[in-house]
Structure 1
C-alpha cells in the first residue's frame, strides 16, 4: 500500500477522537480518493494497457506479452536499484525546475513500466492456464494466503484506498521487502530488489487476476454493460462500508497485539481489496463499452494522456505507480488499518504550519527558537516542576494566538528554570 501516515498529525489521522472539522476533512478526502483519484488512475492504466497491445507486436500476441513482461521486470529492477541515484540528481532543493520536469517524466516512464509488468504477467497467465473456476479459485486463495504468511497482503491495495501525493522528500522512494541498504549491502540489496519485484509482485498479480476472472465468469457474463455497472455498484458500496469501518477497526487494532492484530488487519485489507478490484473492473469496462468504442486507439490515448495530466495538475500523479513492498501491520497500533488517502487534510496542515511559522518569526528569533520544537517538530520538551505541554498543535497554536507574547515569555521563563 503505497503512501504513509508519517507526518500527519494525530488529530488528522484519527479524527474520530477530534473535532467535527477533522471528521469533515476525512470525509472529503475519502470522497476525493474514491471519485476523482481512483477513476483517473484506472483511466491511465486502461489507456496505457491498451496502447501497449496496440503498438508492441500487435500481430504476435505471445511476443507482445513477453516483450511487455521483459520491459516491465527490467525497468522495475532498474528503478529499484538506482532510486538513490535518481534522487541525488533530481534534487528539488538544488534544481527546482529540473526536479519538476524530471520527476513527472519519471512518473510517465515508470508508470508505463508498471503497466507493462502487469500486462505481460496477467495476459501470459491467461494464455497458458485454464479459466476453470475451481482452478482459478484455488490459485487465487493460495497466493493470497502466501502473501499473508509473509506479511505482504497489503500490497494488493490500490486506489481508491491510496492517494500518493507528489511530495519532494519521498518522490523516488521504492521500499523493498527486506529493507536492505544499497550503499552498505549492495549485493543483498540487489537480491532484495529481485525478491520484491519477482516474488511479491508476481503473487499480487495472481491475486488480482484471479478475482477479476472470477467476477468475469460469475457477474452477468453475457452482458458487458450490465456486468460493468454491477462492478461499479459493488465496488463503491464496499468502498463506502470500508471507509466507514475505519474508526471501529482502528479501535480494535489498538487493543490487539501480535499475530491477532495482523490477522484482523489483513482481513480488513482483503475486504477493501474486493471493493478496489470491483471499482477498477467496473470503470475499466464502462470505458471500453461507452467511451469511443468505434475508435479504440483515440480512446486509449485520451484516457492515458488526459488522466495523467489531470493527476499531475492535482499533484498526485504518483498514485498511478505500483512500486515498493509494504509489510502488514508495520505501523503502530491501529494505524495499520488507516488508508493513506490524505490530500485535503495535508493541504490544510501545510497551510496552518506556514501561518504558525510566520507567526513565530514575527515574534522574534529568540522567542521563535523557544517554541519551534513544540509547534513544528512536535517533540515534547522536558520541563521541571511537572509542567505539561500538549502535543496537540491546535491547542498550542490557539493558546499562542490568544496571547502570543505572554505565552512565549512564560515558556521561556520555565525553560530557564
Structure 2
C-alpha cells in the first residue's frame, strides 16, 4: 500500500511539472527519449527521470554513436562480409567448381540454414541454458557466426547467380532494384534493407537467440504457421538482396561509364556514406518530432504526408547504407593486403568479428525482416554509448529505489533555467511508465 501511495505521489508531482511548464520547449529531446523507449523497452518512473535530467549527455553520446557506427562497427561488419563472401569464391575457384553449381550450392545452403534459424530460434533458449551462463554466452557467439556465414551464402547465391544468368547491364540493375523495392514496399518491410552503419544491434543476452521474422512466430505457434513465416521471411530477404544488387551494380556501371577505378569509386562512396549518415541522423529528428507532436507513435495513425516523408527517408537510408558498404568493401579490395588475397579475406573476417565481439555487437551479423511501422520506433538505432549510459542510470535508480520521489520533488522546486534541458514530460502514451 505504501509503495502504491508513493507511486501515485510521484505521478502527481510529474503532473505538476507539466502544469508549471517547468520543462517546456524541449519537444525534440522528449520525442527522442520516448522513441528510445519504444525500441528498447519502457523505463520505470525514476529511471526515465534520471535520463530526462541528463538528456544533454544522452544526446552527446548519441552523436558519438553515429561516428562509432560509421568508423568502427560498420567497417567491422563489412570486413566480415567481404572476407566470407570473397573467400568462398576464392575456394570454389581454386577447386575449379562450376560457377552455376557453386552459386546453386551457396543458395541452397544459405536458404536452408537461415530458414531453420527462422523456424527453431525460439527453441534454442530451452537447450542452451539461462542468459548470462557460460554455456549460453558461448553458444550465442557461435550462433551469430553461423547465422552471418549462412546469410552471406544466401546473398552470394542470389547475387552472383543473377549476374551469371542475366549478366551485368543497367537494365538488369534497374529491374532487380525495382522488383526488390516494390515487393518490400507492398509488404511494408522496406526497413529490412537497412543495415550497418545506419544503426547497429547491441548484444542483449535475453534476446540474442531471437530472429526477426515477418509474422514474428515462436515455439508456441503451430508448425504450419512457422513454416509459412519462415518461407515468407526468406523470400523477403531475397527481395532485400535484389534491392541491394540493383543499386550496387548500377553504381558499378555508372562508375565504369565515368572512367573511375574501383579504388576511387570506393573512396567516393565512403564520402557519400559519411555525409549521408550525418544527414540521416539530423533528418530523423524531424520525423520523430512530427510523429510525437501529433501523438503518432501511440494509438493513432500518422498522416499520409508523414508516411511519404518516412518512405523517402528509408529509401535514402538504404542508398547511404549501400554506398557505405560498397565504399568500405572496395577500399579493402584495393588497399588492404593486396598482394595476398587469401590473407586479405581471412584476416578481414577474423578482425571484423573480433571487433564486433569486443564491443558486444556480434548480433549485427543477424539478418531480419523489419516492418515499416512507426509504432515500433522511428529513430535509427545508432544507440551504443547512449544505450549503455541509459542502462547505467537504470542500475543507479534500482539501487536508490523510491528515493526517486524525492528527486522529483527537488526537480519541482528547481528554477527551469537551472535544468540541464527542458523536455516536457507526459503522463500518457509512451511518456512515463507506470511500472516501478
TM-score normalised over the length of structure 2: 0.77
Equivalence map 1:11-22=2 (5 Å):
19-22=55-58
Of residues 353, 356, 364, the one that matches 2:394 is 353
Tell me if 1:331 matches 2:331. Answer: no
Contact between 2:79 and 2:348, CA under 8 Å: does it hold in 1? yes
Q: Which runs of 5+ in 1 are unaligned?
A: 361-370, 376-388, 403-417
Q: Which residue of 1 aligns with 2:25?
A: none
Offset at residue 9 of structure 1 (A)? 5.1
Q: Which residue of 2 aligns with 1:343?
A: 384
Q: Which residue of 2 aligns with 1:409?
A: none
Q: Which residue of 1 aligns with 2:85?
A: 49
For residues 296-320 of structure 1, what are the alpha-carbon distances to aligned partners after superposition, in whole Å with 9 as ceiling and x for unaligned? 0101010001110111011011112
Contact between 2:213 and 2:229, CA under 8 Å: does it hold in 1? yes
Offset at residue 331 of structure 1 (A)? 2.1
Tell me if 1:272 matches 2:272. Answer: no
Pair 1:398–1:134, CA change in 2 (3 A): farther
Q: Which residue of 2 aligns with 1:5?
A: 39
Of residues 226, 231, 241, the one that matches 1:189 is 226
Q: Which runs of 5+ in 2 are unaligned?
A: 1-36, 297-301, 415-436
Of residues 275, 289, 294, the one that matches 1:251 is 289
Higher relative contact order at CA 8 Å, sep ≥6: structure 1 or structure 2? 2
Offset at residue 47 of structure 1 (A)? 0.5
For residues 235-270 of structure 1, what are the alpha-carbon distances to aligned partners after superposition, in whole Å with 9 as ceiling and x for unaligned? 111111111111112223344615544332221011
Structure 1 residue matching 2:68: 3-state secondary structure: helix
Q: Distance in 1 between matches of 2:110 and 2:191?
A: 21
Offset at residue 232 of structure 1 (A)? 0.7
Structure 2 residue matching 1:171: 3-state secondary structure: coil
Q: Distance in 2 between matches of 1:152 and 1:221?
A: 36
Contact between 1:224 and 1:285, CA under 8 Å: does it hold in 2? yes
Offset at residue 350 of structure 1 (A)? 1.8
Tell me if 1:294 matches 2:334. Answer: no
Q: Which residue of 1 aligns with 2:133?
A: 96
Structure 2 residue matching 1:48: 3-state secondary structure: helix
Contact between 1:166 and 1:317, CA under 8 Å: does it hold in 2? yes
Q: Distance in 1 between matches of 2:341 and 2:143?
A: 26
Offset at residue 278 of structure 1 (A)? 0.6
Contact between 2:59 and 2:386, CA under 8 Å: does it hold in 1? no
Structure 1 residue matching 2:74: 3-state secondary structure: helix
For residues 160-203 of structure 1, what are the alpha-carbon distances to aligned partners after superposition, in whole Å with 9 as ceiling and x for unaligned? 11211110111011122123344232211111111111x20111
Pair 1:216–1:398, CA change in 2 (3 A): farther
Contact between 2:62 and 2:384, CA under 8 Å: does it hold in 1? no
Q: Distance in 2 between matches of 1:102 and 1:139?
A: 37
Q: Distance in 1 between matches of 2:181 and 2:52?
A: 31
Q: Which residue of 2 aligns with 1:29?
A: 65
Contact between 1:228 and 1:281, CA under 8 Å: does it hold in 2? yes
Q: Distance in 2 between matches of 1:144 and 1:321?
A: 21
Of residues 171, 175, 192, the one that matches 2:208 is 171
Q: Distance in 1 between matches of 2:213 and 2:85?
A: 25
Contact between 1:162 and 1:341, CA under 8 Å: does it hold in 2? yes
Of residues 98, 113, 119, the one that matches 1:81 is 119
The RMSD of aligned alpha carbons is 2.8
Q: Which residue of 1 aligns with 2:270?
A: 232
Q: Distance in 1 between matches of 2:266 and 2:221?
A: 49
Contact between 1:57 and 1:64, CA under 8 Å: does it hold in 2? no
Q: Which residue of 1 aligns with 2:163?
A: 126
Q: Distance in 2 between matches of 1:92 and 1:310?
A: 25
Offset at residue 134 of structure 1 (A)? 3.3
Structure 2 residue matching 1:165: 3-state secondary structure: coil
Structure 2 residue matching 1:331: 3-state secondary structure: helix
Q: Which residue of 2 aligns with 1:153?
A: 190
Q: Distance in 2 between matches of 1:206 and 1:16?
A: 42
Offset at residue 100 of structure 1 (A)? 1.2
